[in-house]
Amino acid sequence: MGSTSSPCHVAVLAFPFGTHAAPLYSLASALASTVDDSGVIFSFFTSTRSASSLPPVPRIKIFSVSDGTPPGHVAVHEPPHLEVGRFMSKVPTNFTDALDASVTDSGGIDVTCLISDAFLSFGGAIAKKLNVPWVAVWTGGPCSLSAHIHTDLLRRKNLSDEDDLGFITGLSGLRIKDLPDGVVVGDLTQGFPKLLHDMALALPDADVVVSNTFQGLDPDLDSDFGSKFKMYYPVGPLSLLNPVQAVSEDRFGCIKWLEQQKPHSVVYVSFGTVVSLPGTELAELAHGLVSSGVHFIWSLKDSFREFLPDGFLDRTKDQGIVAAWVPQAEVLAHKSTGAFVTHCGWNSVLESITGGVPLVCRPVLGDQPVNARVVTKVWKVGVGFEGKGIESGELVKCLRKVIRGEEGEGMRERMRRLKEMALGAVGVEGNSVRNLKAVMEMVVGKSGR
């Protein structure tokens, strides 16, 4: 973009939990990289804790907002709704105070566009008050977004757990029981159900809705959202559009170790940054890995090691690596990785697609069951467990199917096609790249530039 007259100040409001801030920061970085003058500045608002994992990016200044954590509070294995509740008790004042601070810091450049995580639907009201456009960013998968915007419809119908959602465009193959808590039942006046319902009501007013996916992955939803929102742009996978990647730590030497393994022979295990499986299930998983004999990399926080069976680490030191943090995207992109045991967080699903790796799904909460259902029954690029949790014998069967079996070959082939679509979207003239440019025009254009 060329030189500009009056300065633009793009404010980006992050939801500072789970892996929400990272894709939003990738979007801000990708947008900032399209600007070649100093007349556009970006202010990024998130909690101090979430900011600590974001790399510095030219033209983006990070401002800290309170997440409500009392000084000295140490949370080990704390349920996610407690910390989110503390944070929600501080909004929107924590953000509006920080917005004021960013204007002062910039020497008085008023905010000219507000981008927020779609979860923070009060972003719409702030933007209205400032008389600037509101860009809402959905960082999860398209199917769960559709479920949220159809909450009222789903509640009006008297549906049971096994009912198929084929009556909603793009959701055929999903069942009521796959939906996130709070969509079909639950009190819409508080907690997460309220946050998501408020979002569903607010999104049609957003000037643009941006989503971390790529055109063609869920084609029916692309057109449905196109008709429901003023403007809808899939711009993913955002991690691939971001020109400034965080340097992934590989303290445990995962990549070097993968170099010594056979193609598609290794299973990578991770359940993301939020959920914790019960200790008994972690022990089942450990037993299953040993019985399968499959080489593995397991991302497991140190505080969960106590659940591993006695002697597990010793017995498996030639079979695998247990690491507190793994450079996941790189591991999934490595040719030796053949399966991913996952909770099906959306970033993990996208990274598996861009790595071309079939999934073994153990969803826990939120949008994870929807994502798992899409992976196993719609795209058919993964398998799940019959019961709710992981059982060692079943894990062995799943790994046999995915890594060695004919079924796994089919999944890998279908994954290869999804991967090509994803890489095409972020390549030269790809649709995500085009959509990103359109978002940038909107971000600087409507604000008088």
Residues in contact with ligand UDP by CB under 6 A are 18-19, 270, 272-274, 299, 325-326, 328-329, 345-348, 351
What are the catalytic residues?
A: 20, 117
Kindly tell me which of 53 and 280 has the beta carbon lying closer to ligand UDP.
Answer: 53
Kindly tell me which of 213 and 299 has the beta carbon lying closer to ligand UDP.
Answer: 299
First to last CA, the chain: 11
> DSSP letter string over 314-351?
HHTTTTEEEESS--HHHHHHSTTEEEEEE---HHHHHH
Q: Residue 12's beta-bridge partner residues?
A: 44, 115
Please report how close the Cβ of residue 161 comes to ligand UDP at its closest, in angstroms.
Answer: 24
Q: Give the integer Cα–Cα distance in Å for 447 and 449.
A: 6
Q: Give the integer Cα–Cα distance in Å for 179 and 140.
A: 13
Q: Which of 227, 233, 232 is nearest to 432 (CA)?
A: 233
Biggest distance spanned by C-alpha atoms of the chain = 67
Kindly tell me which of 53 and 89 has the beta carbon lying closer to ligand UDP.
Answer: 53
Q: What is the DSSP letter of 114?
A: E
| Interacting residues of 364 by C-beta distance below 8 A, sequence separation 6+ | 271, 275, 277, 343
For residue 265, the surrounding DSSP H or E stretch is none
Q: Which of 241, 249, 326 is nearest to 25 (CA)?
A: 241
Kindly tell me which of 157 and 388 has the beta carbon lying closer to ligand UDP.
Answer: 388
Kindly tell me which of 206 and 359 has the beta carbon lying closer to ligand UDP.
Answer: 359
Q: Give the integer Cα–Cα distance in Å for 107 and 383.
A: 54
Q: Give the integer Cα–Cα distance in Å for 61 and 25.
A: 11
Please report how close the Cβ of residue 304 comes to ligand UDP at its closest, in angstroms.
Answer: 12
Determine if residue 296 is left, alpha or beta; phi over 0 gives left, psi from -120 to 50 gives alpha, anything else beta: beta
Please report how close the Cβ of residue 270 comes to ligand UDP at its closest, in angstroms.
Answer: 5
Please report how close the Cβ of residue 221 comes to ligand UDP at its closest, in angstroms.
Answer: 19
Give the number of residues written for the chain: 449
Beta-strand relationship, 113-117 and 134-138? parallel
Kindly tell me which of 374 and 444 has the beta carbon lying closer to ligand UDP.
Answer: 374
Q: What are the tokens at 218? A: 């869920």
Q: What are the tokens at 12? A: 């980006």
> CA angle, corner 15, sides to 361 and 89, nearest 5?
115
Q: Give the integer Cα–Cα distance in Å for 328 and 270.
A: 9
Please report how close the Cβ of residue 116 comes to ligand UDP at its closest, in angstroms.
Answer: 18
Kindly tell me which of 224 and 351 has the beta carbon lying closer to ligand UDP.
Answer: 351
The residue written with tokens 């119908």 in the block is 157
| Residue nearest to ligand UDP as judged by C-beta position | 345
Amino acid letter for position 40: V
Please report how close the Cβ of residue 360 comes to ligand UDP at its closest, in angstroms.
Answer: 14
Please report how close the Cβ of residue 384 comes to ligand UDP at its closest, in angstroms.
Answer: 16
